[in-house]
Structure 1
Amino acid sequence: MNPEAPLYERDPEAWNMYLAEGNAKQARKRVGADVLIRDEQERILLVDPKYKPDWDLPGGMAEANESPAAAARREIKEELGFDLEIRRLLVVDWVPPHGPWDDSLMFIFDGGVLSKEQAARLQVVSDELAAHRFSPLEEVERLLRPYVLDRTRSALQALREGCGSYLVYGRRQESS
C-alpha cells in the first residue's frame, strides 16, 4: 500500500464512510427542469398547471437520483404525451428559500422547434395540467410569474448567443 496514495485508494471503507457522513449532513437541493419549446411561428409552449396560479414552461421537479435532463424528458412525456429529445442546457437558476420551500436549482433546456405535425400531437395527458398552448412573447410576458419570465428571457438570450447563463432568482450573474 502506498502511503502517498489518496485516501480512497488507501482505505476504500474509510472513504465510503466519509462520503456517507457528508451525504447525511450536507444540504440537499430541490431540482426542477423545464423545457423551452417553440413552434414554427416562434411561439413558446406554455402549460397551465392546476396547482399553480400562473402558466409555466413545461417540465417539473426531478425525482431522487434523476438527472435534470431526464426529469425534463419524463415530465414532457407524462404531462403532454410527447417523447421529446432534450437538447442543450440554456439556464441554471438558483432560487432562494421562499415561503415553505427551501432553495432550489432550476434548469431550462432547449426543446427545439416542433413542426406543425408534432405540435398537433401534443395533448394534456396528466391531471396536473388544465391546458397547454403556444404563445407569442407578448402573451408569455403576461402569463408567467416575474421570476419565471426573467428565467425564460435568459433562456431565449442563451439560444440567440449560443451560450448558457447562471441566474440568481431569475437575474443573470456577471462573472467577477
Structure 2
Amino acid sequence: MPGDLGRDAYLAEGNAKQARKRAASDALIRDEDGRLLLVNPTYKSGWDLPGGMAEDNEPPEDAVRRELREELGLTIVSLRFLCVDWVEPHGPWDDLLGFVFDAGVLSPEQAAQLEPGDGEISEYHFFEVSEALPLLPDRQRARAVNALQVLEDGVPRYLRNGVAL
C-alpha cells in the first residue's frame, strides 16, 4: 500500500541487509571484416573486451553504453543481450554478474573515430577472432566464446563460471 511507512521501513531494513551483486558489462564490437575490438587497459596487463563495471543501481546496458562513451568516445544506441555469467567469489572479490551485449558492426568511419578518452585505455585494436580470444583473461574469454555462439545461433545464454547451463 503506497505511503505505508511501517512497511517501507521494514523493506528498507531488508534491503540494507541483503546481498549486493557486482555487475560488469562488456560489448562485442566488430568491424566490417568481422574482426573483434579489444582494448588494452592501463590499470592491468593484457587485453579486454570493451566495457566495465556498473555503478550503483546502474542497469547493465546503461553501464556498457557509458563505458564505451567514456573509454572510446563511442555512442551506441542499439544493444542486444547475448549472455550473462555468474562468477563465484574469487581472490578478494565477491561474486559477479558478467553481462555481454552485441554492440554491432562499426563502419570504417566509426572505427576511425575511436579515441581512448578517460585514461583507462591505452590502445584499442581490431583482431581476428582466432587472435583475439587467446588475448582475453580466462573468464572473459569464456563469456566471449559463448557470446559469439549466440551471434551464430540466436540463443542467449546463462553461464555459471563461464560454462553454459
TM-score category, normalised to shorter length: over 0.9
TM-score by length of 2: 0.95
When the two chains are superposed, the root-mean-square deviation of aligned CA atoms in Å is 1.3
Equivalence map 1:19-30=2 (5 Å): 19-30=11-22
What's the CA shift for 1:141?
2.2
**2:61 counterpart of 1:66:** no
SS of the residue corresponding to residue 20 of structure 1 reads: helix
Equivalence map 1:155-170=2 (5 Å): 155-170=147-162
Supply the distance in 1 between the matched residues of 2:93 and 2:26 (Cα, whole angstroms).
Answer: 18
Supply the distance in 2 between the matched residues of 1:93 and 1:12 (Cα, whole angstroms).
Answer: 37
**2:103 counterpart of 1:111:** yes
TM-score by length of 1: 0.89
1:92–1:166: 8 Å Cα contact kept in structure 2? yes
Amino acid at match of 2:83: V
**2:159 counterpart of 1:172:** no
Supply the distance in 2 between the matched residues of 1:139 and 1:128 (Cα, whole angstroms).
Answer: 23
**2:129 counterpart of 1:137:** yes
Give the aligned partner of residue 77 of structure 1.
69
Supply the distance in 2 between the matched residues of 1:80 and 1:141 (Cα, whole angstroms).
Answer: 21
- Listed one character per residue, the Cα deviations across residues 82-110 of structure 1 (whole Å, up to 9, x for unaligned) are 11124111011111111111111111111
**Corresponding residue to 1:17 among 9, 16, 20:** 9
Supply the distance in 1 between the matched residues of 2:162 and 2:99 (Cα, whole angstroms).
Answer: 11
SS of the residue corresponding to residue 94 of structure 2 reads: coil
Amino acid at match of 1:128: E
1:32–1:60: 8 Å Cα contact kept in structure 2? yes
Q: Percent identity?
A: 52
* Number of residues of Structure 1 aligned to a counterpart in Structure 2: 165
Pick 1 or 2: higher relative contact order, CA cutoff 8 A, min separation 6: 2
In the alignment, structure 1 segments of 5+ residues that lack a partner are 1-7
Supply the distance in 2 between the matched residues of 1:75 and 1:86 (Cα, whole angstroms).
Answer: 15
